[in-house]
Amino acid sequence: MVQRSWASIDPIFSVTDAGLACNNPAVAPPSYIPIAAGANLTAVYWYWLHPVGPMSVWLAACGDGGVDSSCESVDVSELSFFKIWEGGLLEGTLAEGSWYQKAFQHWDGSPDLWPVTIPASLRPGAYVVRHEIMSLHIANKPQFYPECAHLNITGTGDALPTEQRYYAKFPGAYSMDGMYQVFFQRDNFAADRLQIRLSTLMSTAKP
Ligand SMILES: [Cu+2]
């Protein structure tokens, strides 16, 4: 097992829930996914059925980072996560548009695949990877679905985000009237990153 545990498939409704980092109870797994910086990591969702809201992938170095670090005993609520991927609105408006969350589903029972590239220049070491789906199909009642796994990332790079504004803690990153960065994708390559108010996102996004 490489994932942190979760007790139920129910969403988290509160932005202050301790499980916002890695779900509940988030018991640490005994092993890691070995992966090279620059490689693809694909998360498998066997059955996902909500269509509306942003999805994001985050990494956090465990301990002091580096090849001797480990994730077993970290407090995931204290980790500093940085975002490596985000998928939002593919086309249309917040209220009427079509989201990646819908597009990545097959709707036929085959597994829904969510690929992300580990940054090629990333410093090697033990990391927690955090996948977050935020579902907004019910206005003003966001549903958070965070899941974490442990990665043993290899490589020759030495990069990490240098500025504090790129790091976030969970809970702590979101407030009900705070800002949320959403990736408005106009086509496959051009995208505009917008900051919008979480409350606006929640009240306007409808399936
Ligand atoms: Cu649900």
Instruction: List the structure tokens of 87.
Output: 């998928």
The alpha carbon of 81 and the centre of ligand 1 are apart by a number of angstroms equal to 24
Q: Are 181 and 194 in contact (CB under 8 A)?
A: yes
Question: Which residue is associated with the tokens 């129910």?
Answer: 10
Provide the 3-class DSSP secondary structure of residue 170: coil
The alpha carbon of 139 and the centre of ligand 1 are apart by a number of angstroms equal to 14
The whole-number pLDDT of residue 182 equals: 77
The alpha carbon of 121 and the centre of ligand 1 are apart by a number of angstroms equal to 36
The alpha carbon of 144 and the centre of ligand 1 are apart by a number of angstroms equal to 9
The whole-number pLDDT of residue 190 equals: 52
DSSP 76: G
Q: Give the pTM.
A: 0.92
The whole-number pLDDT of residue 185 equals: 63
The alpha carbon of 92 and the centre of ligand 1 are apart by a number of angstroms equal to 23
Chunked into runs of 10 residues, the chain (207 residues) has average pLDDT values of: 92 96 96 96 92 93 81 96 89 87 89 94 95 89 95 94 88 88 61 77 71
The whole-number pLDDT of residue 189 equals: 43
The alpha carbon of 200 and the centre of ligand 1 are apart by a number of angstroms equal to 21
User: What is the Cα 102 distance to its own chain's centre?
Assistant: 16
The whole-number pLDDT of residue 72 equals: 94
Within 8 A by CB and 6+ apart from 25, the residues are 5, 6, 7, 19
The whole-number pLDDT of residue 94 equals: 82
The alpha carbon of 25 and the centre of ligand 1 are apart by a number of angstroms equal to 18
Q: Which of 189, 98, 179, 88 has the alpha carbon at shortest distance from 132? A: 88
- Round to the nearest angstrom and report the end-to-end CA distance of the chain: 34
Q: Are 127 and 154 in contact (CB under 8 A)?
A: no
Total Cβ atoms within 10 A of residue 196: 16
The alpha carbon of 154 and the centre of ligand 1 are apart by a number of angstroms equal to 35
Q: Are 129 and 41 in contact (CB under 8 A)?
A: yes
The alpha carbon of 10 and the centre of ligand 1 are apart by a number of angstroms equal to 6
The alpha carbon of 103 and the centre of ligand 1 are apart by a number of angstroms equal to 17
Instruction: List the structure tokens of 137.
Output: 């199909």
User: What is the Cα 120 distance to its own chain's centre?
Assistant: 18
